[in-house]
Amino acid sequence: MSAALRVTYRLQLASGESAARRALRLAHEQTVELPPEAVPPGAEALLARVEAVENLGPGEALATLAFDPETAGADLAGLLVLLFGNVSLECGVRLEEISWPGDLLARFAGPRFGIDGLRALCGVRTQRALLCGVTKPLGLPSAELARRCGEIARGGADLIKDDHGIADPPTSPFAERVARCQEAIATANARTGGVCLYVPNLTGPAATLPQRLETLRALGCQAALVAPLPLGLETVRTLAAESGLALFAHPALAGAFFAPEHGIAPEVLLGDLFRIAGCDAVIYPHQGGRFPFPAASSAALREHLRRPLGALRPAFAVPGGGIEPARVPGFLAETGSDTIFLVGSHLYLAPDLFRATADLAAAVRGGTA
């Protein structure tokens, strides 16, 4: 077969079952879906091979399976099925790491802009970190959401995204809101001489996406927020390939995969798979915020977004989820400058949105002087 897709799973073993036997069951489940005694001669070609098994301690083991990447083709839906489709219905199987063969990666275009391209879109010529503000909350009229965009842009944020829950509500319908926010940011940019990039939330019934894309293009928007798991990774890949927009990925639904003993490691799901789907920047819940997320997962995710991965461009890590402005300088020392800090709620807890943004923007810029 062509170079194998090597996938390492951490397995919780039922009492009495050996790690080798459990790994073999997994290999069958994810490819031929037959017990060994029912696999006919001639069907072994695409059966996953157990390459390594390592006991980690009582009842726990690591197993590395080698899949023929032709099984999934160049298809992220098929890849998800191959990696974790049926086995999601079991217990105690966590996908820990993937070693990607180059010829599989070559089928995916990946991020259109990547870290360098997104910095250029924001007019940032140094290697500094970026600040992304958020216009919110759901329920406000478009005019007020736009006013908030203007404050944040004047304050010096590099980007402003819609809250991901604001799609097309009656209080701020998509076309109206996007036009108002884009205009408010353009006005602020003209005043500051800076470049703040608007990242509107692109979702909706599948049939409306082409029209919404047209709206964004007509307004001159250059980026959009997408939620790859609710939308489907192939839908996002199509947007990355055809929309011309830089894509920010929201981790909505992803937490369902993050149980300690069953699921997919965040760095694989948000790091590898979202990057392969073409996301230029990937939002994740940073430690110390309001979501539980291990620091080790954050670090691994950042590394996966940037590490060599075929010819795919690196993507920005976007720590968010309740980041306190006062902690940003400390986080920056840890994350490095290829980072977009996403700060929403805490700017709205401050008495003055413009001033709070300006202070935070200075801290983000200053941290990498």
Which of 22, 161, 262, 286 binds a second copy (CB under 8 A)? It is 262
Residues 239-258 that bind a second copy (CB under 8 A): 250-258
Tell me the closest approach of the beta carbon of residue 235 to a second copy, in angstroms.
5
Residues 307-336 that bind a second copy (CB under 8 A): 321
Alpha carbon 167 to chain centroid, angstroms:
19
The alpha helices in 289-367, defined as continuous H runs, are 295-306, 328-335, 345-349, 353-366
Give CA–CA dist 161/250, Å, rounded.
Answer: 11
Q: Is residue 155 a contact point for a second copy (CB under 8 A)?
A: no
Reduced DSSP (H G I as helix, E B as strand, rest coil) percent helix, strand, coil of the chain, to 5: 45, 20, 35
Tell me the closest approach of the beta carbon of residue 253 to a second copy, in angstroms.
5
Which residues, at least 6 apart from 339, have a Cβ–Cβ distance to it below 8 Å? 129, 130, 302, 316, 317, 318, 319, 331, 332
Tell me the closest approach of the beta carbon of residue 313 to a second copy, in angstroms.
20
For 24, phi then psi, to 5°, come to -65, -40
The alpha helices in 62-121, defined as continuous H runs, are 76-84, 102-105, 114-121
Which range in 15-23, 153-161, 261-269, 325-333 contacts a second copy by CB under 8 A? 261-269
Residues 65-84 that bind a second copy (CB under 8 A): 70-78, 80-82, 84
The alpha helices in 106-173, defined as continuous H runs, are 114-121, 142-155
Q: Is residue 352 a contact point for a second copy (CB under 8 A)?
A: no
Residues 263-282 that bind a second copy (CB under 8 A): 263-264
Q: Is residue 89 a contact point for a second copy (CB under 8 A)?
A: yes
Q: Is residue 288 a contact point for a second copy (CB under 8 A)?
A: no
Return the number of the residue (206 or 333) whose C-beta is nearest a second copy.
206
Which of 60, 96, 97, 144 binds a second copy (CB under 8 A)? It is 144
Give CA–CA dist 76/269, Å, rounded.
Answer: 11
Q: Is residue 57 a contact point for a second copy (CB under 8 A)?
A: no
